[in-house]
Structure 1
Amino acid sequence: MSTADRGAWLPPHWVKWLAWKIHRGIYTLSGGRIGLSRPRDRRSGTLRLTVTGRRTGQPRSVILAYYEDGPNLVTLAMNGWEEPEPAWWLNLRAHPEAEVVLADGTRAVLGRAAEGDERARLWARWREIDLRLDTWAARRRKPTAVVVLEPR
């Protein structure tokens, strides 16, 4: 592996899947007391997003990294940098009204994809948080959606 490729290295899918399962398990077993954090300086926070399943109509939850942009929360529809779109993003596009649990409370939100200049600005902010962002995003054939969760 060359030095240039080293920055693009990601763990195998099963490692990411296991880490996500453990994180959700800790959150669930602690009754939500452990597993969520606020963003600080150049670090993202973690939130729990609950959306309505596009096929089942049932609530579906996922823990995501985010940062704040004024009153909005910003995340990426990246699926661990794997190729398919994450299910939560497909569900949110079908049913934009959702709920977010943060380290300091719950919010009702409306989800949408950032477009144009807004997307470029929000992507640049993510790049400040994660210097490998462009390298990882290049692994995907389609652009990674920058998701804005607006208060409703």
Structure 2
Amino acid sequence: MEENPPKIDKGIWKLSVDGSSCITGSGAGLVLTSPGGWMLEYALRFKFKATNKEAEWEALIAGLMIAKHLEVRKIEASSDSQLVVGLANGEYEAREDPMVKYLSHFQGMKSAFEVLRILKVPRAENVRADQLSKLATAEELEKN
């Protein structure tokens, strides 16, 4: 047992996101969990070409939009994308035009939340969102 268990804010929703881009398309995986443990999972397929960096941003923005529509006020989002987390937290400067646009869109969404934290997690801790993003880009989906 841990000596100092992490303090959990009961009012904070958790959002895990992952974007995926491959030859068959691009998409996102999202897992949104309420403070009480209620879970929503999404596999989103994008109808446009996106680089992996863009898919990571799209995943975060889609997850935050869903949370906003559910009137979530406090949220902690986690991503395994160093770039997205670094840009969102102001640790990196956006240089490429698409990254500037995504960052600007993200900044505009921040006011919808009382608390918005963006955390970098190791890929191993983002497994479910990663699986959902891979599902979203699976070739079989296109055959329908």
What is the TM-score normalised by the length of structure 2? 0.29
Structure with greater contact order relative to length (CA < 8 Å, sep ≥ 6)? 2
Normalising by structure 1, we get a TM-score of 0.29
Flag the structure with higher strand content: 1
